[in-house]
Structure 1
Amino acid sequence: MRHLHQRLQLYTQGNDTYIFVPPDTVGAQSLTVHRSSGELVLNPPHSLPPSARRSGKTIFGILGMISLSLSEYVIVMTEREFKGRLMGQDIYRATDFDLLPLSPNINVHNPPHPVEAHLIALVRAHLMGGFFLFSYGWDLTRRLQAQWETREKDSDRPFWEAADDRFFWNKFLQTRLIELTLGNTSQDLSPYILPIMYGTFDLRNAVLHGRTMQICLISRRSRFRAGTRYFRRGIDHEGHVANFNETEQLLMVEDGATGGPVPASGEFGTQMSFVQIRGSVPVFWAEVNTLRYKPDLQVMDLPDTAEMTRRHLQEQVSTYGEQALVSLVNRKGYEQPVKEAYERYVQQVNLPGVKYQYFDFHNECKHMRWDRISVLIDELESDLKKHGYFHLAPNKNEVLQLQRGTVRTNCMDNLDRTNVVQAALAKWTLNQQLKALGILSNEGSIDAYEAISKDFREMWADHADAIANAYGGSGALKSDFTRTGQRTNKGAMEDGVKSLTRYLKNNFFDGARQDGFDLVAGNWVPRKTPASSMFLVTDPRPLITRSMPPIASFSLFMICAGLTLPRTSDYSLFYYFILWLVLLSISLGFIVIHGIDYVSWPRLIPSTDAIYYTGPGFRSGHHGKGFGGDMAPKTRTGTSISTKWLNSGKKRVGVSAVEEGEKKRVD
């Protein structure tokens, strides 16, 4: 593939232009961004104007451009962290960013309007809170088998064109540069278009029976239907599911029993790849936060559910081959309706090459019997052998085996139970690969070799924590089993802390995080009039709703203060405590009954279609809507105003047509 510029120097000409100069590439064309018009122009080599002033920071890549309410911005990467060397190429994580405004009147550290300040903060928080990976010489967005299959076609293609569209996280940000490249053959901006991936990367070196090897674990998060745990569930009207991740485990082995260090080139003779996928249950469902520990579960039977389930599964079959759908959703209680809806629609679409496999995780593994996961592996063994893995011969010209199918695993969140199962399947496959290479005996296992076994467990545990933090807001539950091979009481206590952390973040912080996803992904595009977006920085809830948390806090303070008062009159203190206890009880009761009004909801693309859905399906309850319950939008003054602020972001660009189409179908 064509090269990418690895380092850029930024020059400015007053408030007129930004000029990006590649210092390490001989004869390269610099890129000028005209701030007044937004025009991007490639310059002849060695044509830097004498008046240009060099900026102090080195830039390691242009992530793209984004238009907010008052200005357009160039997003650049100013710091990177080396993560390892894979296939002879360096892998980095992007760690710091700058937003360069085109408008000369904008100071990104002190924007002139609160709406612009809010939008800039959303972009910054998204960039700093994500785990973005990239390479200048190896396509991180595509699994090894896909790269090998298109190797001839890719030889002269730019990086951005070869990248997997699902995992090209900054595709929307790079729209301007891509369109200019496609629309003008004399202005090829491809060396400046750096694809980044949201995911995980871990690489460990090992020596086993004299064979030097590397084990690498990569997860790739889809940019479609991306977001946070409770605000992105299920499927959308394009067949994309929430929290879709492709996980690839690579095994590279040096030919011959050298037992020495990793080759200086980073290239290994034998290369193997095993891919798994995870994603939300592909039906229309949601969980509505109400401040209760368990949100209201909503399953929506829409007219096109079967068609969207079919589209999603067909895409997986087309991309990966046969599918083994492993469902870990509980068969009883709260999760049962989601399990039943999944099974109903999979049976209805009845696709060839798709097999459904249910595993009752909590029942099989109760009382910490986590070794019972072997039951699922036994049930899947024939599918795993049939699907196989990718095996590239040492000469790199011959494929000894292709992976012809994948296991698609999901639980309710696609985090904790899913990761335990995926790690077990990955270990089973790694053992098979090492046996095929003659490194392990037919009865051998990496469990017998503590060094490599420990690295394997840590890789999968770190991988689980990263995916869980990105989607759920805390590290993965049950990770003590992945990390140590045993389920412990200490691990159970740690899971309690993580669950509390998730509850707090999901209810009180994830609204802004979801807005960041939607803004950077292009699902919502700001208008050029900040006044039209004032709903982002104002609180239109009624005064009584806003006053309850301060009243509860002050009442609790007064009760605590009363405990320190001198006991001059127990009679008067009795009424003192009664007064503040009554106020505390009333305010807390109001907050619980109107819980929806206190959740941090996303404002760019509100969740009203799920909150107030009244069509066919299943609803576990109508909590948090006040005394009117499911009739709250029509009967309760507070909620009707709240509905207005939840709907205030409806005027949007991008997927708004999809969302509004959904609303038409529901209503």
Structure 2
Amino acid sequence: MDHYIYDDMNLFITQEKFYIEPKIGKDLLIIDRVSEATVVEKKSNQIPADKSLVEFCGFLGSVQLLAGKYLVLATAREFIGFIDGHLIWKLAGTKLIPYAKSTIHINSEQLEDNAKYLSMIQNVLNTPSFYFSYSYDISHTMQRLHKLGPESGTQSLLSRADMRFVWNQHFLKGFANSDFKNFTLPIIHGFVSINRCVVNGHNFTWAIMSRRSVLRSGTRLFRRGIDRDGNVANFVETEQIVEYQDVNTSFVQIRGSIPLFWVQPPDLRYKPPPRLLDINKADHQMACTKHIEDVSSQYGRQVMIDLVDQKGAEGNLEKAFADTVNSIGNASVRYEPFDFHAECRKMRWDRLSILIDRVAHDQDEMGFFMALKKGALVSLQAGVFRTNCVDCLDRTNVVQSMLAKRALTAMLKLLDILTFEQTVEEQTVFEALFKGVWADNADFISIQYSGTGALKTDYTRTGKRTHMGLMRDGMNSLIRYYKNNFMDGFRQDSLDVFHGLADLRSPLRAERDWKYATFPSVLLVALAMFVTCAILPSEYTTEQLLFLLFWGSMVAATTATIYRYGPEFVDKPHLLNS
């Protein structure tokens, strides 16, 4: 039996202390609003009569801001399903409660900044979607849980969790002591879908669980590439699970930014070119080696599927990636480039089968995890596909879904759910579910990193690239452009505050250059005058045409100037990493 975290609780607030009482449980967590927290055994008359009450369903920790500490509580949850008999929930509501009884100890400027930090924390918590379980460690794959062994079930979920995927670990630092083990609730960020399915009369559970890493977390254009510790941007582990009768099976894939030092800062251009940092090649190789070794220690051998364009700016990244991997010469790594856009141009997405055929032998050698629910091991997954494009979103998810379908077919045949001759594609109802869930996975991971749903999901949902899908992608691309240029500085600051990486003493009110206000104002006036001169006169005179030419020139000149100084108009992060 896994360790169990208290779920439904009461928070009693007095002038001096917080009292957190599980509705079912023997412990009482007492937090002094000035000093420290303790856990004691519940007794009668411990809680003062003069108190206020907050009901909640999960203790997520506390966070230090300018005004002091704040309790972070889960106040609402949504049931997702069962994994291995354990309930899995989605976070549906949160509340931050200050330790300090007033804010008279900080000045007005600090008070304003503190309010912004609070909104940043809430901004991250409101980003879909966070998940948790009171009794099952969802930070680990089934294979890692098996390796931890049954004795790990006596540990708290926090102490044995894979901290790469625990998003509230910064909030729980002050509660890592074993005294708090029944209260501390780890949460993951990503996507979880759990489905009860029927194929050929067999009932089974099919689930997808994507876990986003907290290491090098950030927004699409402000977090790219690798850091010196070997952590890459947008690293996501996706586990596909099948539970049938007394057997659990799972197949794991990972995605992550190209493991080199490269950047792609927003500058108002629709697609600013990515570029490698001009540093010593040995530094690229050192960081990439660290990343490869970390992945190998976690997952075994790896096939690196690189889907970026092999020409232009992306082509420079692809060549550098290939050269670095070849220079490292790790025998457990195979680099597999596939120019997605070139191979599938003119909507020939059926050509993705070329890539799947190339890696089929690797997938067969990797296998997947399978064990009896009583603990007996049948097989281990011996390696992993590490897939990337530039964003590790749209192209990546398409290929991952195809690899997942191939693995799922093998799983269902081994479990005798499918006959030897059958395929997943022939199971019309189930295949529609499979496609829909993988498209949802794409959308959620994309929203969390780029701010919009994924592109190319029409192929994932229907198996075809459609003109309607192209139009939807165009709309998402425009929204993505706006958010990445004008909103992501705040989002990046929010993530850094959430993970305890930001220096809260950094100024939030960065002064803008005079061009920031002047040129957009001039552009709006010039555009308004140009439209007015174009539509109002019933017939054009030479004077009116000259006015039209003048204001049109002003629009063109102002627009060109704004793009020339593009980086100055972008919403950048203001907080320095601590």
Range into which the TM-score falls when normalised by the shorter chain? over 0.9
Distance in structure 1 (CA, Å) of the matches to 2:359 and 2:324: 22
Measured after TM superposition, the shift of residue 577 of structure 1 is: 4.0
Q: Secondary structure of 1:273's partner?
A: strand
Distance in structure 2 (CA, Å) of the matches to 1:60 and 1:74: 13
Distance in structure 2 (CA, Å) of the matches to 1:192 and 1:74: 13
Aligned residue number for residue 295 of structure 2:
316
Aligned residue number for residue 83 of structure 2:
86
Q: TM-score, normalised by structure 1?
A: 0.82
Distance verdict in 2 for CA 1:381–1:579, change over 3 Å: closer
2:27–2:40 Cα contact (<8 Å) kept: yes
Measured after TM superposition, the shift of residue 440 of structure 1 is: 2.0
The one-letter code sitting in structure 2 at the alignment partner of 1:84 is G
Distance in structure 1 (CA, Å) of the matches to 2:263 and 2:115: 31
Aligned residue number for residue 549 of structure 1:
520
Which of the numbers 56, 59, 62 marks the counterpart of 1:62?
Answer: 59
Distance in structure 1 (CA, Å) of the matches to 2:249 and 2:538: 77
Measured after TM superposition, the shift of residue 88 of structure 1 is: 1.5
The one-letter code sitting in structure 1 at the alignment partner of 2:161 is A
1:442-468 CA-to-partner distances (Å, cap 9, x unmatched) read: 231011110111111111111011111
Measured after TM superposition, the shift of residue 370 of structure 1 is: 1.7
Which of the numbers 88, 91, 97 marks the counterpart of 2:94?
Answer: 97
Aligned residue number for residue 449 of structure 1:
427
Measured after TM superposition, the shift of residue 569 of structure 1 is: 9.3
Distance in structure 2 (CA, Å) of the matches to 1:54 and 1:117: 23
Distance verdict in 2 for CA 1:111–1:176, change over 3 Å: farther
Measured after TM superposition, the shift of residue 113 of structure 1 is: 2.1
Residue segments in structure 2 that go unaligned for 5+ positions in a row: none
1:81–1:94 Cα contact (<8 Å) kept: yes
Aligned residue number for residue 229 of structure 2:
238
Would you say 1:73 and 2:92 are equivalent positions?
no
Aligned residue number for residue 258 of structure 1:
none
Q: Greater shift after overlay, 46-55 or 406-415? A: 46-55
Aligned residue number for residue 612 of structure 1:
none
Distance verdict in 2 for CA 1:566–1:419, change over 3 Å: closer
Which of the numbers 124, 136, 154 marks the counterpart of 1:156?
Answer: 154
Matching of residues 466-505 of structure 1 within 5 Å: 466-505=444-483
Aligned residue number for residue 413 of structure 1:
391
Number of aligned pairs? 572
Distance verdict in 2 for CA 1:568–1:445, change over 3 Å: closer
Distance in structure 1 (CA, Å) of the matches to 2:550 and 2:68: 53
Distance in structure 2 (CA, Å) of the matches to 1:69 and 1:41: 24
Which of the numbers 349, 361, 370 marks the counterpart of 1:370?
Answer: 349
Measured after TM superposition, the shift of residue 362 of structure 1 is: 2.1
Distance in structure 1 (CA, Å) of the matches to 2:258 and 2:10: 46
Q: Secondary structure of 1:137's partner?
A: coil
Measured after TM superposition, the shift of residue 573 of structure 1 is: 4.1
Identity across matched positions, percent: 34
Distance in structure 1 (CA, Å) of the matches to 2:527 and 2:310: 42
Aligned residue number for residue 204 of structure 2:
213
1:380-435 CA-to-partner distances (Å, cap 9, x unmatched) read: 121111111011135x2311111111111111111111111111111111111111
Would you say 1:274 and 2:251 are equivalent positions?
yes
The one-letter code sitting in structure 2 at the alignment partner of 1:205 is R
Aligned residue number for residue 136 of structure 1:
134
Aligned residue number for residue 362 of structure 2:
383
Distance in structure 2 (CA, Å) of the matches to 1:482 and 1:435: 23
Aligned residue number for residue 8 of structure 2:
7
Distance verdict in 2 for CA 1:373–1:572, change over 3 Å: closer
Measured after TM superposition, the shift of residue 111 of structure 1 is: 9.6
2:128–2:444 Cα contact (<8 Å) kept: no
1:74-96 CA-to-partner distances (Å, cap 9, x unmatched) read: 11111111112222121111122
The one-letter code sitting in structure 2 at the alignment partner of 1:135 is S
Measured after TM superposition, the shift of residue 515 of structure 1 is: 0.8
Distance verdict in 2 for CA 1:365–1:576, change over 3 Å: closer
Measured after TM superposition, the shift of residue 64 of structure 1 is: 1.4
Distance verdict in 2 for CA 1:167–1:569, change over 3 Å: closer
Distance verdict in 2 for CA 1:357–1:418, change over 3 Å: same
Would you say 1:600 and 2:571 are equivalent positions?
yes
The one-letter code sitting in structure 2 at the alignment partner of 1:354 is V
Q: Secondary structure of 1:292's partner?
A: coil
RMSD: 2.1
Measured after TM superposition, the shift of residue 570 of structure 1 is: 4.2
Matching of residues 114-193 of structure 1 within 5 Å: 114-178=112-176, 181=177, 188-193=179-184
Distance verdict in 2 for CA 1:278–1:566, change over 3 Å: closer
1:281-340 CA-to-partner distances (Å, cap 9, x unmatched) read: 101011121111121322023442211111110111111111111111111123101101
Distance verdict in 2 for CA 1:483–1:154, change over 3 Å: same
Distance verdict in 2 for CA 1:569–1:353, change over 3 Å: closer
Distance verdict in 2 for CA 1:206–1:541, change over 3 Å: same
Matching of residues 246-325 of structure 1 within 5 Å: 246-254=237-245, 269-300=246-277, 301-302=279-280, 303-325=282-304
1:451-501 CA-to-partner distances (Å, cap 9, x unmatched) read: 111111111111011111111221111111110111111111211111111
Measured after TM superposition, the shift of residue 49 of structure 1 is: 2.5
Distance in structure 1 (CA, Å) of the matches to 2:554 and 2:219: 35
Distance in structure 2 (CA, Å) of the matches to 1:114 and 1:558: 39
The one-letter code sitting in structure 1 at the alignment partner of 2:91 is A
Q: Greater shift after overlay, 45-54 or 195-204? A: 45-54
Measured after TM superposition, the shift of residue 564 of structure 1 is: 6.4
2:137–2:161 Cα contact (<8 Å) kept: yes
Distance in structure 1 (CA, Å) of the matches to 2:103 and 2:81: 38
1:290–1:296 Cα contact (<8 Å) kept: no
Measured after TM superposition, the shift of residue 574 of structure 1 is: 4.6
1:11–1:52 Cα contact (<8 Å) kept: no
Aligned residue number for residue 438 of structure 1:
416
Measured after TM superposition, the shift of residue 437 of structure 1 is: 2.0
Measured after TM superposition, the shift of residue 168 of structure 1 is: 0.8
Would you say 1:203 and 2:194 are equivalent positions?
yes
Q: Secondary structure of 1:443's partner?
A: coil
Distance in structure 1 (CA, Å) of the matches to 2:249 and 2:475: 38
Distance in structure 1 (CA, Å) of the matches to 2:86 and 2:375: 20
The one-letter code sitting in structure 1 at the alignment partner of 2:127 is G
Q: Secondary structure of 2:67's partner?
A: coil
Residue segments in structure 1 that go unaligned for 5+ positions in a row: 183-187, 255-268, 528-532, 605-648, 654-667
Q: Greater shift after overlay, 590-599 or 70-79? A: 70-79
Distance verdict in 2 for CA 1:155–1:569, change over 3 Å: closer
Aligned residue number for residue 529 of structure 2:
558
Distance verdict in 2 for CA 1:343–1:48, change over 3 Å: same
Q: Secondary structure of 2:264's partner?
A: strand
Distance in structure 1 (CA, Å) of the matches to 2:341 and 2:558: 38
The one-letter code sitting in structure 2 at the alignment partner of 1:314 is E
The one-letter code sitting in structure 1 at the alignment partner of 2:23 is P
